[in-house]
Structure 1
Amino acid sequence: MKIGIFDSGIGGLSVLYEAMHLLPHEQFIYYADEKHVPYGEKTKEEIIGYVDEIIQFMIERDCKAIVIACNTATSAAVSIMRKKYHIPIIGMEPAVKKAVDLYGKQKVLVCATPITVKGKKMLDLVERVDKDHLVDLVALPKLVRFAERLEFESEDVLAYLKEALSCFDFEEYGSLVLGCTHFNYFKDSFHKLLPQVHLLDGNLGTINYLIKNIELEDLESSVEYYYSGQRVLGKELQRIECYLKRLEKMKDIGK
């Protein structure tokens, strides 16, 4: 049986990348909902509908567990989907607790999409772990669109980040939490602007939680890629390879 991993677009490839390294004998389906990207600009009701459709798609293709590799979709839909379906559904959780535990003597900045930043799941998480009121939140919605068009290191990206983060005094911060899987492609840009700040994401914790909730198999590793239900072939596979190479390049930045 397979493991399904999906996102609104290609951000969740960073979760797949982690999964392929930790689970080299599993088979995966990766689903990018390119028809509806970015989720961060949709309503909660729309996102719930998209997620429900994708989970049904994956169950029909013999998935034994599904990872919602999108913080926005997790925030909007994971609790509803867990009540509806009876297979493990793993959501994303920004690494806020890890940041507070490791670097909590200084402030923590969490970057995410608007829905994630404002969502009850995020606010409950911060309230639970941020006893000293050190965590700040900021929405960076444009990064998703930059990532989807393979624009990672342009002047426009740096200008956007400088403007969006200009109100924060980063001498007070010890860590920055990447609360959207798309943001992992921009670690070099974050590091260029904030070289003293540690960068954290929730990918490793997500896959470790997945491992605890599945029966491991000894299969020949494989991945099937889909864009909004259509099998990805040819040039689009080359595009995916570009993203995976980018993730390999980013993996040790900001640690």
Structure 2
Amino acid sequence: MKSNPIGIFDSGIGGTSIWKEIQHLMPNENCIYLADSKNAPYGEKSHEEILRLSVKNTEFLIERKCKLIVVACNTATTNAIDYLRNQYTVPFIGIEPAIKPAAINSKSKKVGVLATKGTLSSALFYSTSQNHAKGIEVFERQGKGLVELIEEGDLESKSLRLLLNQYVGPMLERGIDYLVLGCTHYPYLIPLLKEMLPPDVKIIDSGQAVARQTKSILVKQNLVNDADEIGRHQCYTNGNIEVLERFVLNAASHVNAEYLDF
């Protein structure tokens, strides 16, 4: 079991931002990454459809003997992770917007959250905001269209810049000093965001925290791969294989990307 892979899935290539943090923290671990690009974005889908796709992705990874599964999608986490934990014995790690550290550290007491519709409208997001953002003004913005543009692989396009300005501008006018990225695709926008944001506005995403939590669970369950060799990584997509390759092939050694119609 120790040498079995960590499974990671997302509605496309966004969750590779989580995979990169995991393999950076735990270079000896093997990973299988599943990009359901054909159905991206999940944020516009119904709860029932998100649940169905999450089950399908989970069973794909379980069939490949994954010892732990990271739901590297905010929308899938908020809509499906409780169900998945009840249905399967494999440990699950979820993703949710990092509102807590932003709320704790905000000096202006104003925090922006850029996320998908499916995340912002979920019960889990609501409870997280209620529990951790008391006394904080939280400005939510749905990043409609951003996932689709990132899935095309062009992170410098004029359309992407225009949308980001449209979504982030009103938050800056309200005086936010923290911007929480509530979608695993969005860390790929950080270079553009840093051009747009004043230096006193800090960006928070969940990648490093998720990697640390993954390691913690592996340690607790005695599942850490104690082999000496560097881990191997198999990445699958049902979308554009060239886009997936662009995001993963130079990120680690021993990486293979493959198109699979699932």
The normalised TM-score by structure 1 is 0.89
Q: Residue 147 and residue 155 in structure 1: after superposition, are their counterparts in 2 closer, same or farther (change >3 A)? A: same
* Aligned-pair CA distance for 1:87: 1.2
Residue matched to 2:232: 222
* Aligned-pair CA distance for 1:195: 2.5
Residue matched to 2:245: 238
1:83-232 correspondence runs (5 A): 83-170=86-173, 172-196=175-199, 197-214=201-218, 215-219=223-227, 220=229, 221-228=231-238
Residue matched to 2:35: 32
- Hey, what's the Cα distance between the residues in 2 that align with 1:195 and 1:106? 17
Q: Which moved more, 1:133-142 or 1:16-25?
A: 133-142
- Hey, what's the Cα distance between the residues in 1 that align with 2:175 and 2:250? 33
Structure 1 ranges of 4+ moved more than 6 A: none
- Hey, what's the Cα distance between the residues in 2 that align with 1:236 and 1:185? 13
Determine if the alignment matches structure 1 residue 12 to structure 2 residue 22. Answer: no
Q: Residue 179 and residue 244 in structure 1: after superposition, are their counterparts in 2 closer, same or farther (change >3 A)? A: farther
Corresponding residue SS for 1:226: strand
- Hey, what's the Cα distance between the residues in 2 that align with 1:106 and 1:72? 26
Corresponding residue SS for 2:37: coil
Q: Residue 171 and residue 113 in structure 1: after superposition, are their counterparts in 2 closer, same or farther (change >3 A)? A: closer
* Aligned-pair CA distance for 1:218: 2.2
Unaligned runs of 5+ in 2: 253-262
Corresponding residue SS for 2:136: coil
* Aligned-pair CA distance for 1:107: 0.9
Task: Write the letter of the residue equivalent to 1:77.
Answer: A
Task: Write the letter of the residue equivalent to 2:92.
Answer: I
Please tell me whether the aligned partners of residues 152 and 185 of structure 1 are also in contact (alpha carbons under 8 angstroms): yes
Q: Residue 192 and residue 129 in structure 1: after superposition, are their counterparts in 2 closer, same or farther (change >3 A)? A: same
Corresponding residue SS for 1:9: coil
Unaligned runs of 5+ in 1: 246-255
- Hey, what's the Cα distance between the residues in 1 that align with 2:203 and 2:195? 12
Task: Write the letter of the residue equivalent to 1:7.
Answer: D
Please tell me whether the aligned partners of residues 93 and 206 of structure 1 are also in contact (alpha carbons under 8 angstroms): no
* Aligned-pair CA distance for 1:243: 8.2
- Hey, what's the Cα distance between the residues in 2 that align with 1:193 and 1:98? 22
* Aligned-pair CA distance for 1:244: 4.5
* Aligned-pair CA distance for 1:166: 3.6
* Aligned-pair CA distance for 1:169: 3.7
- Hey, what's the Cα distance between the residues in 2 that align with 1:159 and 1:236? 22
- Hey, what's the Cα distance between the residues in 2 that align with 1:169 and 1:59? 43
Task: Report Cα offsets for 1:81-106 as digits up to 9, x if no partner.
Answer: 00101110110021110111222543
Count residues with an aligned counterpart: 242
- Hey, what's the Cα distance between the residues in 1 that align with 2:54 and 2:149? 23
- Hey, what's the Cα distance between the residues in 2 that align with 1:242 and 1:147? 17
Q: Which moved more, 1:209-218 or 1:60-69?
A: 209-218
Q: Residue 85 and residue 179 in structure 1: after superposition, are their counterparts in 2 closer, same or farther (change >3 A)? A: same
The normalised TM-score by structure 2 is 0.86
* Aligned-pair CA distance for 1:170: 4.1
- Hey, what's the Cα distance between the residues in 2 that align with 1:9 and 1:24? 23
- Hey, what's the Cα distance between the residues in 1 that align with 2:102 and 2:133? 10
